[in-house]
Amino acid sequence: MSKYPLIPAALAAGSLIFGANAFAQTTDANRSPGQVLFDNGVSLSVNYTGEAATNPSGGIRQSTDYAGQIYFGADFDFAKIAGLDGTSAHVAMTQRHGRNLASDAIGNNTSVQEIYGTQNLHLAELTVEQKLFDGRLDVTAGRTVANVAFLNSPIYCNFQSNSTCGNPTFIFKDSNFTYFPASSWGGDAKALLTDKIYLHAGAYEVNPHDKTSATHGFDFGTDNATGTTIPFELGYETSFANDSLPRHYQIGGWYDDSDYADPLLDAAGNTALLSGKPYATNHGRSGGFFRFDQMIWRPDSASKRGLTLFGIVMTRVSGRVSEERFYELGLLQTGTFAGRDEDTLGFMVNDQQFSDSTLAGIRAARQSAGGSGSIPKHEVMMELAYGAQVTSAIRFSPNLQYIINPDQTAEPFRTKNIPDAFVVGFKFTVDLAKIAGLAPPSF
């Protein structure tokens, strides 16, 4: 890989845009390149997301960090390409770069820049999708991730905190739930029981090797796999097409039979932080959740402007885990000022409750370093964010975040608690495919 991480991604983006543009322009000068590609079964996505964050107060020290991602994606509709009804393929790659303010300056292990993670050029998706029974059963399989198909919502990434975007952080603390863009083998099936009620389940290989900077997602072997994570849910979902106040309710859970580290003990049953030996390896843990989003106010039935309430409750069911429960509640207003129908204003707050095992380890480490005092059982993260649609292709999202009781799992030998942190963030996205005229048409 290049010494300069932006070079391969930029070259790939340039080649993709130039090649597709040339193809489309030579095909039909009367239609946009994106329309021509779409009509021939190809939809392209190329975008850039950047996230800056600084903590003017609180945390371990004051600093500023930036993280970014270039995304390349293509969807292939084989009904148009080869006459195969209901069959499609999906390919996506990312190039991520930058640093993480949470680990560099705040001290907690939940990032305030959700775009950070798997900092290299990485294959995020290579899947085949098949819709059956007039679209009532949708099956996808290949190289993929669990967190795109489950516990996700278009609401969440109006925020920058990784405690919410792209998924509630609890699922990654208490399971080996696979996350974007660190793909592995997996798939899901979603069956419509009625027009509004569905059953959804999946299975995903857990392979720690796929999450490291040493791999780019193209090692398709399973030699390093440690097990499987299985999410499932029963859902009720409506849209603007069939509901004046769209809503989404889910109840579900997960089972993870892969290897995971004990939150407290080494193999001999001693506190691992004090013994210096590796944490004991455990197998089998599970959890459950209930989540919802409900539009509660819509001033005009001719537009999608309105106020949506959303929330989630998650809990451990079995296993020795680092967190016991997670709660989140938030509001998102779509359409703010006159003429700003696509702008958003959102607020969310969540509470992570740590397990007794996690607290016992930190307490023992602090005492060994000469410290004292109680260890907070709850970490509360909140964010106020405004999303401004500057043009059809550019969006700015300034945000303010506040962290009460930053967790000390990454700094267990500190002799006192980490001060509450105030974070100023700025997120922006640029739709490069739309700027180049390669985006599929909007409907």
CB 362 within 8 A of CB 373: no
Cα separation, 180 vs 189, in Å, equals 19
Band the pLDDT of 28: cuts 50, 70, 90.
low
Per-residue model confidence (pLDDT) at position 431: 97
**Residues 136, 142, 144, CA angle at the centre, nearest 5°?**
95
Which residues, 6+ apart, have CB-to-CB distance to 197 below 8 Å?
Answer: 234, 235, 236
Cα separation, 263 vs 313, in Å, equals 22
Q: Where are the alpha helices (DSSP H) in 299-425?
A: 356-368
> For 64-117, what is each residue's pLDDT tens digit?
999 999 999 999 999 999 999 999 999 999 999 999 999 999 999 999 999 999
Question: In degrees to the nearest 10, what's the CA dihedral of 267, 269, 272, 274?
Answer: -140
Per CATH, the homologous superfamily of domain 6-435 is Carbohydrate-selective porin OprB (2.40.160.180)
Cα separation, 42 vs 63, in Å, equals 43
CB 46 within 8 A of CB 434: no
Task: Quote the tokens at residue 348.
Answer: 């969310």
List the chain domain ranges.
Answer: 6-435
Cα separation, 207 vs 227, in Å, equals 8
pLDDT at 398 over 80: yes
Measured from the Cβ of residue 57, the count of other Cβ atoms closer than 10 Å reads: 11
Band the pLDDT of 169: cuts 50, 70, 90.
very high
* CA within 13 Å, CB half, 384: 4
**Mean predicted lDDT score pLDDT of the chain:** 92
